[in-house]
Structure 1
């Protein structure tokens, strides 16, 4: 007569087969949790800059107005550029914006140029 243990062993119903699946499931949960936390942490420190306009002061200066939206209570650094007719960079400036109380700040920066510019814009911003 065949016992229950012999039948379990014959048809692969032993307890040792479950352990790799349990360990794999735990590892998958840890990986998904870590990936989710990285996405949340990155979005908490993201900064968005919107161009509001520019004024061509003279042949060697452009005033650029922009709004920075993002992290409240942390310093932000932006790179502002002046471009010519062919979209070549003719001037740029790193603008440091001190931490403020509001979620967004309007900023104006004067960018020196080496030749006549036709536009001014924000290239990128990040949390300092």
Structure 2
């Protein structure tokens, strides 16, 4: 036995084959978990819809005109909840608009929101991809 082998035995630096398999299995499992997390992140982002309010105009005490643009997956119909609020941030108008599918990635729209009182702002609350009727 060499000096190095004696030192390895003395200080426990030798690894048994079972320990090597355990470490290897742990590494493979960790890589699989990271890959699965990455896949879920990417697949969830493929159907994301981004909406930005570009303009709003208080038409009168019963209506707000809202300009907005969306970025959505091409070929997907989208629905957006648009909202009007008063000075105290209370919701005075709310509406869901369904936007038809298009081959374009980014599109701009202008919609009217009926209100129950004078609004001071209008904005897009949220947007989502509608299920495909063929599915």
Shorter-normalised TM range: 0.7 to 0.9
In structure 2, distance between residues paired with 1:42 and 1:54: 31
RMSD value over aligned CA atoms?
A: 1.9
Structure 2 residue aligned with 1:79: 81
SS at match of 2:103: coil
In 2: Cα distance, 1:57 partner to 1:13 partner:
77
* 1:14-33 to 2 correspondences below 5 Å: 14-33=16-35
Deviation at residue 13 of structure 1 after TM alignment: 3.6
Superposition TM-score, scaled by structure 2 size? 0.82
Give the unaligned 5+ runs of structure 1: none
What is the CA deviation profile of residues 40-82 of structure 1, one whole-angstrom value per residue up to 9, with x for unaligned ones?
1122111111111112222111111100112111011111000
TM-score by length of 1: 0.86
Matches within 5 A, 1:1-128: 12-128=14-130
Within 2, Cα distance between the matches of 1:81 and 1:60?
Answer: 13
Deviation beyond 2 Å, 4+ runs, structure 1: 7-14
TM-superposed CA distance for 1:9, in Å, is: 8.6
Per-residue deviation, residues 67-120 of structure 1 (Å, max 9, x unmatched)? 011211101111100011122111100111111111111111111111111111
Judged with a 3 Å threshold, the aligned counterparts in structure 2 of structure 1 residues 9 and 68 are, in CA distance, closer, same or farther, namely same
Rounded Cα–Cα distance in structure 1 between residues aligned with 2:68 and 2:122? 10
Structure 2 unaligned blocks of 5 or more: 131-135
